[in-house]
């Protein structure tokens, strides 16, 4: 590692000592022969102000100290007369690693639009906004691991390539090494004309995973409490501010647990990780509060303190029907909740996160445990103001016969799920879990409006640059 301190530590340290700082120049201002240079190394929101007195640095070097350049500054840390910063670095020597032509450097001081910054995703991490976004993202990832590790959960790495199309959670990306210009096809028999995937890499059609849940269940039925945290893919052509083709999902799975335990964990989990990020990234969150959403801090504090509302799907439908609203998507028992309904429940009725349970089995996945009424399943969705669904979970069907029947009802092939059914034959146990969209939670934490702006390199329909 380079010799020198993070700017975060320099700013928190004592004055009067020699300091070596590294970073990229944010801005430079010259006044009466004195030069004020703000540098940032990504370690914290605040920049370090470097003061270069008249004649302190050779003119040929000084010329290269422009916005975007990467530098090393050696000097003395002194109290700063300027307001808003306790200390500044009085430069004695400067080394420029890489220059940045001010005429063409795309990241200027003026506020750029989010759309423009997406087009320069290789440089946007150096902006104030994206510095804050990715520090929060890092803190959130760590808070998630800490939460589960402190509770004895095993971190399991589930596969990215899969041959089981997980319950139609979304359209899938195919994975193949077949020559697309020259696909092998059956020349005879009942499948004549169809593509012969037995000649493909895996001997059958393969996809990028839409969820690690089924494999996480295998591990839960051996390690009791487990979680996955990995990339997930959906080939859905939905160009919305809430959907990505590649996103990250957190999926805990717990054996000897029912839906109530699952709900309790989801609530404890959200509160704990939000509190942790607020603790670690307050300056970043304050920036979001100031620049993007004046309610974000208040909302987060509220979520940490308040208890979530609980309502059954059937009750939710009644509330929506009594609302007197003109819904774009009509409300009746059996219909899925749409964004407009979710937002009404969280933002207007309950004004806090809401957990909706016991959905009709027809609108939920085959693996959810069927209730005694035979019509609903032990599902739970956590809905959050502004975002809508943030967590989807359920108690899983642990009874072999019921699961087999559900697989058939849903028109799925039982041969494909042989190992999943096997789990119900050998040492089956009640178990439950949920999936949290990591970037959805990032939207919530930061108040950013578009999911493309909370992931380093977004993949969306028509766009996979960088």
Q: With H, G, I as helix, E, B as strand and everything else as coil, classify residue 112.
A: coil
- 193, 223, 375 from 314: Cα distances, Å: 47, 35, 11
Of 398 and 439, which has the nearer Cβ to ligand ATP?
439
Of 89 and 377, which has the nearer Cβ to ligand ATP?
377
Stretch that binds ligand ATP, among 16-24, 59-67, 349-357, 433-441 (CB under 6 A): 433-441
CB of 434: closest distance to ligand ATP in angstroms? 8
Angle at 462 between CA 166 and CA 201, to 5 degrees: 45
DSSP states along 335-381: PPPPHHHHHIIIIIISSS-EEEEEEEGGGS-TTBPBPTTSSEEEEEE
Our finding on whether 124 is near ligand ATP (CB under 6 A) is: no
User: Binders of ligand ATP among 246-305, rule CB under 6 A?
Assistant: 247, 249
Decide if 248 contacts 208 (C-beta within 8 A): no
CB of 170: closest distance to ligand ATP in angstroms? 5
Kindly report the three-state secondary structure assignment for every residue of 283-323: HHHHHHHHHCCCCHHHHHHHHHHCCCEEEEHHHHHHHHHHC
Decide if 79 contacts 62 (C-beta within 8 A): no
CB count, 10 Å around CB of 135? Answer: 21
Of 38 and 213, which has the nearer Cβ to ligand ATP?
213
Q: With H, G, I as helix, E, B as strand and everything else as coil, classify residue 229.
A: strand
Of 169 and 309, which has the nearer Cβ to ligand ATP?
169
Stretch that binds ligand ATP, among 77-85, 143-151, 174-182, 384-392 (CB under 6 A): 384-392
Sheet strands side by side (includes 174-175): 161-162, 206-208, 174-175
Angle at 414 between CA 179 and CA 395, to 5 degrees: 110
CB of 247: closest distance to ligand ATP in angstroms? 4
User: Binders of ligand ATP among 386-425, rule CB under 6 A?
Assistant: 389-392
Instruction: Quote the CA–CA distance of 234 and 244 in Å, as a whole number.
Output: 7
Our finding on whether 433 is near ligand ATP (CB under 6 A) is: no
Residue from 435, 445, 447, 452 in contact with ligand ATP (CB under 6 A): 435
CB of 10: closest distance to ligand ATP in angstroms? 37
Tell me which residue of 97, 91, 126 sits closest to 109, measured CA to CA.
126
Instruction: Quote the CA–CA distance of 378 and 355 in Å, as a whole number.
Output: 12
Structure tokens at 142: 């760590």
CB of 122: closest distance to ligand ATP in angstroms? 23
User: Binders of ligand ATP among 204-243, rule CB under 6 A?
Assistant: 234, 236, 243
User: Binders of ligand ATP among 438-457, rule CB under 6 A?
Assistant: 439-440
Stretch that binds ligand ATP, among 11-19, 106-114, 180-188, 437-445 (CB under 6 A): 437-445
Our finding on whether 318 is near ligand ATP (CB under 6 A) is: no
Residue from 244, 265, 311, 432 in contact with ligand ATP (CB under 6 A): 244
Residue from 169, 195, 319, 421 in contact with ligand ATP (CB under 6 A): 169
Structure tokens at 32: 């009466």
The residues that touch ligand ATP, with contacts defined as CB under 6 A, are 169-170, 234, 236, 243-244, 247, 249, 389-392, 435, 437, 439-440
């Amino acid at each position: 590692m380079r010799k020198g301190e993070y700017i975060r530590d320099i700013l928190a340290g004592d004055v009067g000592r020699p300091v070596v700082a590294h970073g990229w120049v944010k801005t430079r201002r010259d006044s009466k022969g004195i030069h004020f240079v703000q540098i940032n190394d990504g370690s914290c929101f605040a920049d370090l102000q470097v003061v270069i007195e008249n004649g302190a640095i050779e003119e040929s070097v000084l010329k290269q100290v422009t916005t975007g350049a990467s530098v090393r500054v050696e000097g003395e840390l002194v109290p700063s007369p300027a307001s808003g910063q306790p200390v500044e670095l009085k430069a004695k020597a400067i080394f420029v690693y890489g220059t940045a032509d001010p005429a063409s450097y795309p990241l200027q001081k003026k506020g750029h639009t989010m759309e423009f910054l997406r087009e320069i995703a290789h440089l946007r991490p150096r902006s104030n906004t994206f510095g804050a976004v990715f520090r929060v993202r890092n803190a959130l990832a760590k808070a998630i691991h800490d939460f589960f590790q402190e509770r004895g959960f095993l971190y399991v790495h589930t596969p990215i390539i899969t041959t089981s199309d997980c319950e139609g959670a979304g359209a899938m990306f195919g994975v193949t090494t077949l020559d697309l210009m020259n696909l092998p096809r059956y020349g005879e028999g009942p499948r004549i004309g169809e593509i012969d995937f037995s000649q493909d890499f895996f001997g059958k059609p393969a996809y990028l995973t839409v969820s690690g849940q089924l494999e996480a269940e295998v591990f839960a039925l051996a390690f009791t409490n487990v979680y996955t945290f990995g990339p997930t893919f959906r080939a859905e052509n939905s160009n919305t501010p809430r959907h990505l083709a590649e996103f990250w999902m957190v999926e805990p799975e717990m054996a000897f647990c029912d839906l109530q335990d699952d709900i309790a964990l989801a609530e404890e989990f959200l509160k704990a990780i939000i509190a942790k990020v607020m603790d670690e990234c307050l300056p970043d969150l304050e920036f979001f509060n100031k620049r993007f959403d004046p309610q974000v801090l208040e909302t987060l504090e509220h979520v940490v303190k308040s208890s979530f509302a609980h309502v059954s799907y059937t009750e939710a439908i009644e509330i929506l029907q009594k609302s007197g609203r003109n819904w774009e998507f009509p409300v009746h028992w059996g219909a899925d909740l749409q964004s407009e309904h979710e937002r009404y429940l969280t933002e207007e009725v309950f004004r806090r996160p809401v957990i909706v349970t016991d959905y009709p089995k027809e609108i939920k996945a085959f693996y959810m445990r069927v209730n005694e009424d035979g019509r609903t399943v032990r599902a739970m969705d956590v809905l959050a103001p502004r975002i809508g669904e943030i967590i989807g979970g359920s108690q899983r069907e642990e009874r072999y016969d019921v699961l087999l029947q559900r697989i058939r009802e849903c028109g799925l092939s039982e041969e494909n799920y042989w190992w999943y059914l096997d789990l119900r034959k050998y040492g089956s146990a009640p178990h439950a879990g949920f999936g949290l969209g990591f970037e959805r939670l990032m939207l919530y934490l930061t108040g950013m409006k578009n999911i493309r702006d909370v992931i380093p390199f977004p993949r969306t329909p028509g766009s996979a640059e960088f």
